[in-house]
Structure 1
């Protein structure tokens, strides 16, 4: 019960701290509006009318296609903030106090992880409000499945952010390293452009540079976004079984890495 109390207290602290940060909340609202309402709707004519191959392979508007990817982007940004929060707590002595207390280290880690993942999931779910504007009809079952996948993404990237933050000693170093890792992972995840699933890898290389096709296919974020597309717009570019396998394995691996790095402190 003491362990659960520690987890709950730290989880609640993370949640309250994030809800009081108006900058985070403003960004979480404005980012989806920028992508879905401006880029999504504005580029739809070129996505469907300008490229006949895309029209055949991806029978959706651009807003519909990027809708799941923008939800993942919101989660990724919020997850990075959990790493910043961790460095802040270490810099100003909160961790020294909490780790010097009888609170078990695993409970402290779990509270921090679950708090950051909860905030990231909530911010990612804000885009679901824009589903009617993007012409993405979501049933209750689809909404719940989407929230479950967003929680998986949040656990994975909050773990990654905590692992990076455990190695960093400054906010500036963390920001540079996190952006250098997370932004390429997002943009090379078929988030804003489709790979034709009807083509073989050899044929895709004729359309895209070989390094790009390779990067998209080995990038685990590709399969997380593809799983969310499967749930929200009933479209996948890859084997759904592979999507679900990555969604199950990636968070577990990153949580183990994060816990190991957390224990080094």
Structure 2
């Protein structure tokens, strides 16, 4: 005896075969699009090498971490943002080519369609986010399997949220070109107002802590000492800190930095809520937006 009958509301709303097909289609699309892979690698090299080591020559450290180490979690999230919205952007193309019209006129449950597409977008986002993560050992990160798994979980949650946001935008976009401009207008504010480049408050530009042997630095961090000597304390203005706190991307980024570096500045409870509650909310909103496309 099965848990749900074929005529039950749950069965009608969730068809795992459809979820799997939509998920697999996103992976096939990603595998054929080498530009996405190139974009993920180029963004990683640009931000880590040019910004991380270029600006890092002036800002030697932030809270006892090299500047390249500090911005690595932000580069991971940046790749996740681009990959997620690019997966959602394909929905506009599908509507123009007629494939999505076939889906909309079929009896397929819209929740299953959205779940499959969002799952595919989140999977691609994790792959893209893993590109800068692969550079972590070269920057002095001590990665363990547990840290990598937790980082993937944060990436997947962020990928679900942002892909769902992209679907909502795509459902309201009539042209492929308009979605591109809107998505750029979404990615840049979310990224630059997330604390990816500068901390909310911290010791920046100092000299000394990174010159201490790594074993002693680790011991000092156990006692809450992250910086020593000639740095200066920077703090964002209140209005900018408010925008950072209102930015939903700030919380998974801070949680990812906490996982990889052990350093975070936002309330842990708020970050955990953001990576568990926001995906569910945005999934519901995306499913509702997709269902609206079926209305004449």
The TM-score normalised by the length of structure 1 is: 0.89
| 3-state DSSP of counterpart to 1:15 | helix
Structural RMSD (CA):
1.8
The match for 1:181 is 186
SS of 2:87's equivalent in the other structure is: helix
Higher strand share: 2
Q: Given the superposition, is the C-alpha separation of residues 105 and 119 from structure 1 closer, same or farther in structure 2, using an over 3 Å criterion?
A: same
Q: What is the CA distance between 1:88 and its match in structure 2?
A: 0.6
Larger Rg: 1 or 2?
Answer: 2
What residue is the counterpart of 1:203 in the other structure?
none
> Which of residues 132, 135, 138 is equivalent to 2:140?
135
Q: Secondary structure at the match of 2:64?
A: coil
Residue aligning to 2:267: 239
> 2:70 matched to 1:42?
no
Structure 1: tracts of 5 or more residues without a match: 199-205
Mapped to 1, the partners of 2:106 and 2:285 lie a distance apart of 24
What is the CA distance between 1:9 and its match in structure 2?
1.2
Alignment size in residue pairs: 251
Instruction: Determine the structure 2 residue equivalent to 1:86.
Output: 91
The answer to whether 1:74 aligns with 2:79 is yes
Residues 200-244 of structure 1, C-alpha deviation per residue, up to 9 Å, x if partnerless?
xxxxxx943332121112212111110000000110112222211
3-state SS of the aligned residue for 1:123?
helix
Moved over 6 A (4+): none
Deviation at 1:101, TM superposition (A): 2.8
Give the CA deviation at 1:245.
1.5
The Cα shift of 1:116 comes to 1.3
| Structure with the larger helix share | 1
Between the aligned partners of 1:10 and 1:23, the Cα distance in structure 2 is 21
In the alignment, structure 2 segments of 5+ residues that lack a partner are 1-10, 204-233
Equivalent residues of 2:254, 2:271 under 8 A apart: yes
Counterpart in 2 of 1:159? 164
Structure-2 residue corresponding to 1:11: 23
